[in-house]
Amino acid sequence: MLVTVEDGRAVRIAGEREHPFTQGFLCTKVAKYLERTYHEGRLLYPQIRVGPKGEGKFRRATWDEALSLIASRLRSIIDSDGAEAILPYSYAGTMGLIQGEAMASRFFRRIGASLLARTICSAAGSEALNLVYGNRMGTDPETIGEAKLIILWGTNTLTSNPHLWPFIRQAKEKGATTICIDPLRTRTAVACDEHIPIRPGTDAALALGMMHILFRDQLVNSPYLDEMTVGWRELRDRVLRDHPPHRVAETCRLPIETIERLAHRYATMRPTFIRVNYGLQRHAGGGSAVRAIAILPAITGAWDDVGGGCQLSSSGTFGLNFARLERRDIPCNTRTINMSRLGEALTEINDPPVKAMIVYNTNPASIAPDRKTVLRGLRRDDLFTVVLEHFQTDTADHADVLLPATTQLEHDDLHRAYGHLYVMYNRRAIEPLGEALPNSEIFRRIAAAMKLDWPELKATDEEMMRDALTDVGEQLRGITLETLRERGWMRLNIPSPHLPYRRGAKVPTPSGKIEIATDRGAAFGVGRLPEYIPPYESEERDPHLAKTYPLALISPPAHSFLNSSFVNVASLRRAAGKPTLEIHGDDAKARGINGGERVKIFNKRGAFTAEAVISDRVRPGVVSAPSIWWGKLTDDGTNANETTSQALTDIGAGATFYDNLVEVRAAQ
Ligand SMILES: Nc1nc2c(c(=O)[nH]1)N[C@H]1C(S)=C(S)[C@@H](COP(=O)(O)OP(=O)(O)OC[C@H]3O[C@@H](n4cnc5c(=O)[nH]c(N)nc54)[C@H](O)[C@@H]3O)O[C@H]1N2
Ligand SMILES: Nc1nc2c(c(=O)[nH]1)N[C@H]1C(S)=C(S)[C@@H](COP(=O)(O)OP(=O)(O)OC[C@H]3O[C@@H](n4cnc5c(=O)[nH]c(N)nc54)[C@H](O)[C@@H]3O)O[C@H]1N2
Ligand SMILES: [Mo]
């Protein structure tokens, strides 16, 4: 990202043309980052709550007053309930290493706070990759122009990963076939040659059915399987027995021919690339789905080809020293709270109850599942909440102390990626607005106000950057803070193209092979072999529920929002319009719903309202509510997370946002 500054003010923002992956363009949202940075709603000084929680009334305070209030409240909670009653809550507002879990982690470890399991986004898929491959690596995205078949599986690439698209376009121009597997006919599906509208939560069945066909028709790559994998014969016997195409067709609600054709194309075209993404793992069996899909390229040996294989995340390629950055050596034998069950943590846990929560880089009052319970927790009078933010979000409305944080233009940071192979330096472009401070500095000051005297709590941002780059693997050789600062970004020191699982490569699992059948499954909460695990909220598992609430609600990222970030940016909110619910004509007619009408979407957890859009972009039985709206910026103060559940995925204990049955009716 290139920022032009005139007289201390950022006046222009653009993509870096030289960057091999992002190629000079910014996504729809970040292109508006200046509008966001200079937004009239920016928090410019510390504030202390004056009205009831949730109302959002604050008075201005000095940093000294705010910090000493925080220090004394945390001290008294530690004295009365123990430090475990303090909960950090953070996620992906910034993905910078320094403004993420660096000083924050050191601080919380030193006081002995509860640990947070950061599961809300990618845990199921990441852990599934760790199970099969021992790490999170995949196809070098810059090579996929070479692919002849590209499967976009559970990803709305043009919305959520637009920088991959130029490479897909390259492949298309050279004649590649593109297939999108998604219950919704997204803009990505429309741009592909074929769209397979799978029933939500059934992708593992489809992948296992494809394997059945590959083994049945002897389309597998036995030399690759023998050399690079363990357990493939066991898998073969299982899929031949349990996953015949007719059964899979019924599970996935797809024609048998679609499954046969998909499998045959997958086996006979080369190179084949699967972009599997996070949408499909937000279901009960989400981890198992990623596990099964990730095994497909091992069965055909697609990993051997430049442009072949599969990519969920590249984050494991980086090998940064997180242990040193976060000081994981500081002993901290405290309990772990799963962030995807925040509602439960704030309303049910009692050993000890959560008495203080420090929120940074996240907006849980909008983005966490089972919002009604989350809000009930946030409104507890005996909960002390500190929020570090750019804006007065739904969460900030519940803060006792609200602290102004710097944006990416106003602080320095280091970044890795999860979809490409470059380390990046985030150089500060402008001075912090108002009295805003970087998260790292805020935690340093809280530690100082609490009179904590550990040297690692005084480390500068630069020292922490050096920690992340110290004692690192070969892939970071030559990548120093100095070279990064000078160049802005550097490719990891890995071969180009990077072929992580080409024949002959050592796979970082205990066996050194791709683990197709493995006893390690048990440690991940699953069996030796990948299986299909039906959604919690499905006919298979709960027929009564499926009758009462017959529609599967998906609440995917809206094109103009980044989770709940940018919802308050006027130009982007205008582009998003208003909260909508896409519903198939048959489902609308059965309920007497007309397009443009206000509808109520509900289940036993809660309800929200939206404007009905009748559309064949959704299949019958599926509805879609582009998200994630700030409740306070909607007509009735609600959003789709009123209906989502705190149930967890099979692998990784991740959130199951799209495993969510609802009913819809015209709102009064
Ligand atoms: N514009 C925009 N871009 C974003 C984000 C954003 O909010 N806005 N968020 C960022 C973040 S944090 C993340 S994690 C990524 C997420 O981006 P993706 O990994 O692409 O995940 P989602 O957008 O959640 O879902 C992608 C698609 O999966 C489909 N899907 C849902 N359930 C199923 C299923 O059971 N099977 C299949 N095959 N498909 C299913 C949805 O309909 C959706 O079209 O995007 C990042 N990029
Ligand atoms: N229904 C539904 N819910 C979902 C999802 C979905 O698809 N559907 N997606 C889920 C996914 S994939 C994710 S990743 C989560 C994301 O949820 P979050 O991690 O909460 O992400 P955002 O909603 O973008 O909120 C980030 C907040 O951090 C703030 N922020 C940004 N930079 C900084 C900084 O440097 N310092 C401080 N202090 N604050 C900063 C922003 O202003 C913003 O309010 O949401 C999940 N929730
Ligand atoms: Mo995410």
Residue 437's identity, in one-letter code, is L
Which pair of tokens denotes residue 441?
């500095």
Ligand 2 closest atom vs CA 408:
35
Residue 668 binned pLDDT confidence (cut-offs 50, 70, 90): confident
Q: Do residues 308 and 368 share a domain?
A: no
Q: Mean pLDDT, to the nearest integer, of 252-272?
A: 98
- For the chain, how many helices (H) and strands (E)? 23, 26
Q: Mean pLDDT, to the nearest integer, of 229-253?
A: 98
Residue 8 is predicted with a pLDDT of 97
Ligand 1 pocket member 561 (CB < 6 A): yes
Q: Do residues 5 and 146 share a domain?
A: no
604, part of any domain? yes
| Residue 569, domain CATH | 2.40.40.20
> Model-level pTM greater than 0.85?
yes
Q: How far is residue 195's CA from residue 610's CA, in Å, rounded to a whole number?
A: 27
Model pLDDT for residues 185-197, shown as the tens digit of each residue: 999 999 999 999 9
Q: Tokens 């959003």 map to which residue? A: 639
Which pair of tokens denotes residue 572?
């982007």
Q: Do residues 142 and 268 share a domain?
A: yes
| Residue 152, domain CATH | 3.40.228.10
* Cα-to-centroid distance, 657 and ligand 1 (Å): 11
Ligand 1 pocket member 160 (CB < 6 A): yes
* Cα-to-centroid distance, 151 and ligand 3 (Å): 21
Q: Do residues 132 and 103 share a domain?
A: no
Q: How far is residue 388's CA from residue 393's CA, in Å, rounded to a whole number?
A: 11
Q: Mean pLDDT, to the nearest integer, of 407-423?
A: 97
Model pLDDT for residues 555-597, shown as the tens digit of each residue: 999 999 999 999 999 999 999 999 999 999 999 999 999 999 9
Q: Tokens 């069965």 map to which residue? A: 299
Asked if residues 567 and 391 have their Cβ atoms less than 8 Å apart, the reply is: no
Which of 156, 572, 630 maximizes ligand 1 atoms within 8 Å of its Cβ, making it the mutation to test the pocket? 156
Q: Do residues 297 and 328 share a domain?
A: no
Q: Give the domain extent around 636.
A: 543-666
Does the structure show a pLDDT above 80 at 260? yes
87, part of any domain? yes
Does the structure show a pLDDT above 80 at 75? yes
Residue ID of nearest Cα to ligand 2 atom 16: 563
Percent of the chain past pLDDT 90, that is, above it, reads: 100
- The secondary structure of residue 243, as a DSSP letter, is -
Q: Which residues contact 488 (CB under 8 A, 6 or more apart)?
A: 16, 424, 425, 427
- Nearest residue to 499 (alpha-carbon basis) of 319, 322, 297, 321: 297
Pocket of ligand 2, beta carbon within 6 A:
91-94, 99, 120-121, 360-363, 367, 388-391, 393, 405, 439, 555-557, 562-565, 627-628, 640-641, 644, 657
Ligand 1 pocket member 315 (CB < 6 A): no
| Residue 82, domain CATH | 3.40.50.740
- Nearest residue to 299 (alpha-carbon basis) of 204, 247, 231: 231
* Cα-to-centroid distance, 481 and ligand 1 (Å): 33
Residue ID of nearest Cα to ligand 1 atom 19: 278
Instruction: Provide the angle, in degrees to the nearest 10, between the axes of the packed helices 203-216 and 232-242.
Output: 100
* Cα-to-centroid distance, 368 and ligand 2 (Å): 9
Q: Do residues 150 and 297 share a domain?
A: yes
SS3 call for 223: helix
- One DSSP character per residue, 367-427 reads HSSSHHHHHHHHT-TT-EEEEEESS--TTGGG-SEEEEB--TTTS-EEE--SSSSEEEEE-
Ligand 2 closest atom vs CA 279:
7
Q: Do residues 569 and 583 share a domain?
A: yes
531, part of any domain? no
Ligand 1 closest atom vs CA 283:
35
Residue ID of nearest Cα to ligand 2 atom 7: 556
605, part of any domain? yes
Model pLDDT for residues 41-72, shown as the tens digit of each residue: 999 999 999 999 999 999 999 999 999 999 99
Q: Do residues 169 and 280 share a domain?
A: yes
Ligand 1 pocket member 658 (CB < 6 A): yes
Model pLDDT for residues 617-635, shown as the tens digit of each residue: 999 999 999 999 999 999 9
Q: Which ligand has the shortest distance to the CA of 91?
A: 2
Residue 109's identity, in one-letter code, is R
Q: Mean pLDDT, to the nearest integer, of 272-277?
A: 98
Q: Do residues 19 and 147 share a domain?
A: no
* Cα-to-centroid distance, 281 and ligand 1 (Å): 9
Model pLDDT for residues 144-162, shown as the tens digit of each residue: 999 999 999 999 999 999 9
Q: What is the mean pLDDT of the chain?
A: 97
Model pLDDT for residues 114-138, shown as the tens digit of each residue: 999 999 999 999 999 999 999 999 9
220, part of any domain? yes
Q: Do residues 131 and 154 share a domain?
A: yes
Ligand 1 pocket member 456 (CB < 6 A): no
Residue ID of nearest Cα to ligand 2 atom 42: 390
Ligand 2 closest atom vs CA 640:
1
Residue 201 is predicted with a pLDDT of 98
Ligand 1 pocket member 365 (CB < 6 A): no
Residues lining ion ligand 3 (Cβ < 5 A) are 121
484, part of any domain? no
Ligand 1 closest atom vs CA 27:
1
* Cα-to-centroid distance, 61 and ligand 1 (Å): 40
Model pLDDT for residues 483-538, shown as the tens digit of each residue: 999 999 999 999 999 999 999 999 999 999 999 999 999 999 999 999 999 999 99
Does the structure show a pLDDT above 90 at 40? yes
Model pLDDT for residues 347-369, shown as the tens digit of each residue: 999 999 999 999 999 999 999 99
Residue ID of nearest Cα to ligand 1 atom 3: 160
Asked if residues 305 and 221 have their Cβ atoms less than 8 Å apart, the reply is: no
Ligand 2 closest atom vs CA 639:
1
Q: Do residues 343 and 451 share a domain?
A: yes
How many domains does the chain fold into? Answer: 4
584, part of any domain? yes
* Cα-to-centroid distance, 511 and ligand 2 (Å): 37
426, part of any domain? no
SS3 call for 288: helix
- Nearest residue to 55 (alpha-carbon basis) of 378, 374, 296: 378
Q: Do residues 605 and 506 share a domain?
A: no
Q: Which ligand has the shortest distance to the CA of 281?
A: 1
Q: How far is residue 162's CA from residue 178's CA, in Å, rounded to a whole number?
A: 16
